[in-house]
Structure 1
Amino acid sequence: MTLARTLRQALTIARRDFTATVFTPIFLLFLFAPLIMGAFGAVGGMGAASVAGSNSDRARVVAIVPDAAARPIAEADTRLRAVFRRDEEEPPALTTLTAGADPAAQARAAFAAKDYEASAVLYGPLATPTILYGPRGKRAADYLGVLAGQTLAAQQLGGALPRVTVTKMPFERPSGAAGGDGGYRQSASFAVFGVFLLNLFLASQVVGTMAEERNNKVIEVLAAAVPLESVFLGKLLGMFGVAILFVGFWGTIVAKLGSFLPPEAAAALALHTALPLPVFGVLFFVYFTMAYLLLGSAFLVVGALASTPREIQMLSLPISVIQMAMLALALAGTAHPDGTMGLAAQLFPLSSPFAMAGRAATSASLWQHGAAIAWQLLWVSLFIVIGARLFRRGVLQSGSAKPRWRRAKA
């Protein structure tokens, strides 16, 4: 009866917090925050791209060669550029200059040209060329070295290099082969980052709610009516409902947009997991829930103990630093999930949801997930109980300030 009554009281408070948060105009701003941030990021990216584009249009790689080598080097440049895809950065465009009496002076003068910006300049015999390059022109210098080799080979063969007809066929490496779990590890990293980013954005909302009700004395009214453990659990569940609404809204939009992707792009973005994708999706949601409850309970304690926005910022900073450390630990554990680092990440309570989300992508075993979820629920309960006691003794000034064993001794 006590557990049922505690859950009933917690659900009542959760419903109150959920409706008080969702049915407000400010919730729409929170719901569309990713779109607003994405718009600002797109504007900044377009500005940076325009600046970079204007600079790349003037960038050149320069080859100072005799007139007889001008055409072969241009043909070799065309062949080499066919290797680069659209999403890859090509070397700057090629400009050829006729070699004069002093090619070294010509190369130095090319860096001062007003018509273009030279990244790298080649001069001298193609067998032993000299290449000068600027501060960010080392890759362009490497390209000029390969270009000189291709041109020299074509000249020695008495014409263009022979053309090779290649048949390209996609092939998926079997999971049991050496290195076949590379796709699993990539999906594991995606799962770790997904759980982390969602919680980083959503779990911190609990702090403001708790601090606001503490300043308004509402929390004291609730604490007089129901146990503090029910208050803390109810607020955590209420804000988790808000997080589920947020994730469901944007998850539906992303899924709909994904259906319009070309088949090649959809195949490149597809997840490869050891477990079936529906099972992996369920476990991903469960570990997102566990991470939210763990971090949310920690933020809840921060909001309960802080009385001013400045105190909230000061107390939230260590939690954010710990989150980043847990992310690094979980990512390190995905590389060797059965090693010492992987086991440490799976056992430590704050990093366990992240590490186990990655484990769901690399391992087909299910019993480990059941044990991990029970372990994480234990720590959620401990955080809620400890937070309620800290709030009761530090803020409400109720309860004994001494531990039970010291009171018994007295």
Structure 2
Amino acid sequence: MPELLRAAWVIARRDFAAIIFSKAFFFFLLGPVFPLAIGIAAGSIGGQVARDIDQPSFALVMSAGETQAVLKARAALAQQLGESRVPMLAAVETDDPQSALDSGNDSRFLGVLTGSLAKPQLIGTESEIMRWKGPLELLVERARAGGAAAPATLETRTVAQSAGSQEQGRLVTAQVGQALLVLLTMLLAGMVLSNLVEEKTNKIIEILAAAVPIDAIFLGKLFAMLGMALIGIACWTALALGAILIAANGLPALPTPATGWPLFLALGVGYFAMAYLLLGSLFLGIGAMASTVREVQTLSMPATMGQLLFFFLASYSVTRLGEPIELVAVAFPFSSPFAMLARAAQQDGLWQHLLALGWQAFWVLLLIRFGAKLFRRNVLKSGSGKRGLIAGLFARP
């Protein structure tokens, strides 16, 4: 193992220096400007998730008779104005109306409509009160059925934060993090494949294979490309921060994730590295099987489309924490970085992320081993054809 790591370090240093000090690297840094519009357009795919997130719901804490009157008025008003213009109401039995704001993951209440029809009260955050006070006053007035001459006026009581508004904010942070992660991964991972095919064409890879183990070559190339990708991301982040400072007054602030911004950003870097290494190791295996650029394009297309499907799986499950579909997204290695980043935005706790990073690292090593075996058989024409695949993966190089 020490010899393998030393050989991988030599390959990584060689590739890293060759890429960073090339003229093409400068133009590579300009690359994200063009797919940015595509990335923004791709956000419309999360329409179903957006509908799950943007369903305003208020707890209704009134007497039984008044509750039925309000719910009936809400149904009639929604028919006239549309569902999106009238918030959802859910009857809650409690002696403490404000406690409904902290009722847990099963309810996403933005506020509480309580009191009586004669003297209604709205409890919630200042932003939610400003947004929904008018429609709720109209709803209460409709529920009175002409029983009062004066128009309905809601008394308001503000709270610092409700469970519903906090959860909705964290879902937005999770979606933005997932979209950014997949955009960077798809943009940068393809360079691993093109670099390997170029060196196969020039016979450089065969010279390297005569000096160091194939596993070390693949490992070194992956980490060299990862280092290049992180430098590119650092440059783009600096440009983005500059743009944010210029347009600070016109940009909304992302809600704070459950783990806090420092840990969330650190986990974001870790999950990007794992997503990049997983896709890059898969591309190395594809490059080991391909001998021409046309074969590379043919073989890499299913892998690219598959990665997008895994991203859609993780994006779909972002509002379904703990459900089977979300657990599948967490366990499957290619969707795991996206699903776990969404968890970091919505749940605190570090242990689950350490387990996930270890699980993803195991699959990176397994895919590197598999790609090296393919390279030996298809390019170097070595290796025993009688040995089983699983035994061959874990055999000594």
TM-score band w.r.t. shorter chain: 0.5 to 0.7
Please, which of 249, 255, 260 is the counterpart of residue 246 of structure 2?
Answer: 260
Say whether residues 1:348 and 2:336 are aligned partners. no
1:192 to 178, 181, 186: 178
Q: Spell out the pairing of 1:157-306 with structure 2 (5 A cutoff).
A: 173-174=161-162, 177-178=163-164, 180-263=166-249, 265-266=250-251, 268-306=252-290
Question: SS at 1:270's partner residue?
Answer: coil
Structure 1's 170 and 261: CA in aligned 2 closer, same or farther, altered over 3 A?
farther
Q: Distance in 2 between matches of 1:26 and 1:192?
A: 28
Q: What whole-Å deviation, never above 9, does each CA across 1:46-92 have from its counterpart, x for those lacking one?
A: xxxxxxxxxxxxxxxxxxxxxxxxxxxxxxxxxxxxxxxxxxxxxxx
Structure 2 SS opposite 1:350: coil
Please give the secondary structure, in 2, of the residue aligned with 1:203.
helix
Count how many residue pairs are aligned between Structure 1 and Structure 2.
283
TM-score normalised to structure 1 length: 0.64
Q: Could you say which residue in structure 2 is the equivalent of 1:393?
A: 377
1:385–1:329: structure 2 CA closer, same or farther, 3 Å change rule?
A: same
Q: Write the distance in 1 (CA, Å) between the matches of 2:278 and 2:390.
A: 30
Q: Is there any run of 5+ residues in structure 2 with no aligned partner, and where?
A: 41-151, 393-397
Matched to 1:25, the amino acid is K
Match of 1:374 in 2: 358
Query: Does the 8 Å contact 1:209/1:303 carry over to 2?
Result: no
1:303 positional shift: 1.8
Once the two structures are TM-superposed, the CA of residue 270 in structure 1 deviates from its matched residue by 2.2
For each residue in 1:294-353, what CA deviation from the matched residue of structure 2 results, as whole angstroms up to 9, or x when unmatched?
001011111222111110110111011101110111011211121111100000011001
**Residue of structure 1 equivalent to 2:22:** 24
CA distance in 1, matches of 2:265, 2:391: 49
User: What is the TM-score of this pair, normalised by structure 2?
Assistant: 0.66
> In structure 1, what is the Cα distance between the partners aligned to 2:198 and 2:216?
18
Query: CA offset at residue 231 of structure 1?
Result: 0.4
- Return the offset for 1:261: 2.5
Q: Cα 1:35–1:223, aligned 2, differ >3 Å: closer, same or farther? A: same
Greater C-alpha radius of gyration: 1
* C-alpha RMSD over aligned residues: 3.0
Deviation at 1:392, TM superposition (A): 0.4
Deviation at 1:357, TM superposition (A): 0.9
Cα distance between partner residues in 2 of 1:401 and 1:346: 35
Aligned-partner Cα distance in 1 for 2:277–2:307: 14
Whole-Å separation in 1 of the counterparts to 2:284 and 2:158: 50
Deviation at 1:203, TM superposition (A): 0.4
Residue deviations 1:109-130, cap 9 Å, x none? xxxxxxxxxxxxxxxxxxxxxx
2:372 equivalent to 1:384:
no
Q: Distance in 1 between matches of 2:39 and 2:328?
A: 36
Change (3 A) 1:326 1:38: closer
Change beyond 3 A, Cα 1:321–1:36: closer
User: 2:389 and 2:309 mapped to 1: Cα distance?
Assistant: 35
Residue 4 in structure 1 maps to residue 2 in structure 2: yes
State the distance in 1 between where 2:389 and 2:316 align: 41
Q: CA deviation at 1:167?
A: 12
2:333 is paired with a residue whose SS is coil
Residue 34 in structure 1 maps to residue 18 in structure 2: no
Cα distance change on mapping 1:206 and 1:407 into 2, 3 Å: closer
Q: How many angstroms apart in 1 are the aligned matches of 2:25 and 2:389?
A: 47
2:332 maps to a residue whose letter is: F
Q: CA deviation at 1:260?
A: 2.3
Q: Which runs of 5+ in 1 are unaligned?
A: 43-163
Query: 1:254 offset after TM fit, Å?
Result: 0.6
Name the aligned partner's letter for residue 290 of structure 1: M
Q: What is the one-letter code of the residue matched to 1:359?
A: R
Alpha-carbon contact 2:5-2:216 (below 8 Å) kept: yes
Residue 298 of structure 2 corresponds to 314
Would the alpha carbon gap of residues 24 and 262 (structure 1) be closer, same or farther in structure 2, given more than 3 Å must change? closer
The Cα of 1:393 is off from its aligned counterpart by 1.0
